[in-house]
A = this chain, B = another copy of it.
Amino acid sequence: MSETWVPGADGTGFGLDNLPYGAVSHDGRPPRPAVRIGDRALILGEVPGLSAQLPAGALDGPTLDPILAAGRPAWRALRARLTELLRAESPERDKAERALVPLAETEARLPIGVPDYVDFYSSIEHASNVGRIFRPDAEPLMPNWRHLPVGYHGRSSSVIVSGTPVRRPHGQLPTSDGAPTYGPTKRLDIELELGFVTGPGRPLGEPIPASAVREHIFGFVLVNDWSARDIQRWEYQPLGPFLGKSFATSISAWVTPLEALEPFRVAPRPQDPEPLPYLRLEEDWALDIELEIELCGAVVSRTNARGLYWTAPQQLAHATVNGANVRPGDLYASGTISGPEPGTYGSLLELTWGGRDALDAGGAARTFLEDGDEVVLRGWCGERERPTITFGEVRGAILPAA
């Protein structure tokens, strides 16, 4: 673990081993690309000489998309240069110092443009739990589930950055007599997910092989795929989730580069049956990322992303095997990450088994979310008390229905 001269940054998970990218507004200016180190943001456009290594305008904002479009050689050079500027005893410390501002003086904005948003369903425990809860008399997993990473397109426009409050949505709610009623959702839920953000993209008609993942995935964020379970349950057949999800999807303000996660690649769980050749991997692509859900100030679930059945390279290879094109700043989320036991589930739907068993959230009994509740998703690599990498948290509070 290399050290930095930035005070207090070492040991927080926002030291040199991470260097996540975001887009922040400072001094009332429109948002610009920045890197987080400790509790500060390094405004990249203010670092002398840095823009010369990137395409014109790449550091002007309002999102990271032009940096993502620049591709892996540019990402590596940029990270190496930032590490050089920020390392302890750097002779060029002053070049970075003038571009460093306290996070408290900035406002984090959505770091990516999200031209498309795909959500997968890659935890076998989650998919099995949902099957058991929604279709108790049937096989919990559909016949296709072990053959492909099931996924669907979500709404891009309502992807929001951590900290943005979420208004309880209205919609059609099912009733026992068959005709729906209209009103605010009574079953507002969270989904703990990990998402990846794409790099330079790929033209229509050119699939991305799983082996090319380092050229195409820039980095990772945490994702809270807010869900209205009653709306979703009534609407989802036969074309999938729509309004039960499209009101809000929250992501981290900071994108941790894939390069930073290389030390945390671990062997994935076995897949049975062996997937088709385009989904096979030559390297280990499970990610050892600890995850937790805080609700009303209490940790109500704790799990790890390494348990996902389908990995990011498999998700991207599958999503493009038909030639679908990819653009810089696309978001691909894992689907809810659940472990094998109740305290490791990634949604209230599972933690309360469809609302049957209330959860103790720091003294408050909860089945689904109530107005005013705040949810925080956290993720880290390494030791909890002194993490190597900390993900940007995903925080959101529930506003009452309009």
**A155 engages B241 (CB within 8 Å):** no
Q: Which of B143, B152, B247, B273 contacts A153 (CB 8 A)?
A: B152
- Given known pairs A182-B278, A240-B238, the reply for A172 and B147 (CB within 8 Å) is yes
**A239 engages B238 (CB within 8 Å):** no
Closest B residue, CB atoms, query A235: B144
**B170 engages A321 (CB within 8 Å):** yes
**B235 engages A148 (CB within 8 Å):** yes
Q: Which of B156, B178, B231, B236 contacts A115 (CB 8 A)?
A: B156
**A152 engages B155 (CB within 8 Å):** no
A240 CB contacts on chain B under 8 angstroms: 152, 236, 238-241
**A172 engages B153 (CB within 8 Å):** no
Q: Which of B151, B231, B278 contacts A239 (CB 8 A)?
A: B151
Interface centre among A153, A156, A248 (most CB of B within 10 A): A153
A304-339 to B contact mask, C-beta < 8 Å, 1/0: 000000000000001101111111001000000000
- Given known pairs A155-B116, A273-B179, the reply for A239 and B323 (CB within 8 Å) is no
**B171 engages A322 (CB within 8 Å):** yes
**B322 engages A228 (CB within 8 Å):** yes
Least Cβ–Cβ distance between A146 and chain B, in angstroms: 10
**B241 engages A204 (CB within 8 Å):** no
Closest B residue, CB atoms, query A113: B115
**B273 engages A322 (CB within 8 Å):** no
Chain A residues 234 to 260 lying within 8 A of chain B, measured CB to CB, are 234-243, 246-248
Chain A residues 57 to 75 lying within 8 A of chain B, measured CB to CB, are none
Closest B residue, CB atoms, query A238: B142
Q: How far is the CA of A118 from the CA of B116 in the complex (A)?
A: 12
Q: How far is the CA of A402 from the CA of B323 in the complex (A)?
A: 9
Interface centre among A160, A239, A243 (most CB of B within 10 A): A239
**B325 engages A153 (CB within 8 Å):** no
Q: Which of B157, B179, B243 contacts A318 (CB 8 A)?
A: B243
A165-191 to B contact mask, C-beta < 8 Å, 1/0: 001011110000011101000000000
- Given known pairs A180-B276, A228-B322, A324-B157, the reply for A150 and B239 (CB within 8 Å) is yes
Closest B residue, CB atoms, query A237: B142
- Given known pairs A156-B115, A158-B325, the reply for A151 and B319 (CB within 8 Å) is no
Q: Which of B155, B170, B319 contacts A243 (CB 8 A)?
A: B319
Chain A interface mostly: loop
Least Cβ–Cβ distance between A358 and chain B, in angstroms: 26
Q: Which of B158, B169, B321 contacts A171 (CB 8 A)?
A: B321
**A150 engages B241 (CB within 8 Å):** no
Q: Which of B154, B160, B204 contacts A204 (CB 8 A)?
A: B160
Closest B residue, CB atoms, query A318: B243
- Given known pairs A240-B239, A278-B182, the reply for A247 and B322 (CB within 8 Å) is yes
A277 close to B (CB within 8 Å): yes
Least Cβ–Cβ distance between A88 and chain B, in angstroms: 43
A277 CB contacts on chain B under 8 angstroms: 182
Interface centre among A160, A179, A243 (most CB of B within 10 A): A243
Q: Which of B152, B179, B323, B327 contacts A147 (CB 8 A)?
A: B179
12 contacts between A and B (CB under 8 A): A116-B156, A147-B179, A148-B172, A150-B239, A151-B239, A151-B242, A182-B277, A204-B247, A236-B239, A239-B241, A240-B240, A243-B319
- Besides the known contacts A116-B156, A171-B322, A247-B323, 4 further A-B residue pairs in the complex with CB atoms under 8 A apart: A142-B238, A144-B235, A151-B242, A158-B325
Binding site for B on A (CB under 8 A): 115-116, 118, 121, 142-144, 147-148, 150-158, 160, 167, 169-172, 178-180, 182, 204-205, 207, 228, 231, 234-243, 246-248, 273, 276-278, 318-319, 321-327, 330, 402
Closest 6 CB pairs of A and B: A240-B240, A169-B322, A153-B153, A152-B239, A239-B240, A246-B324
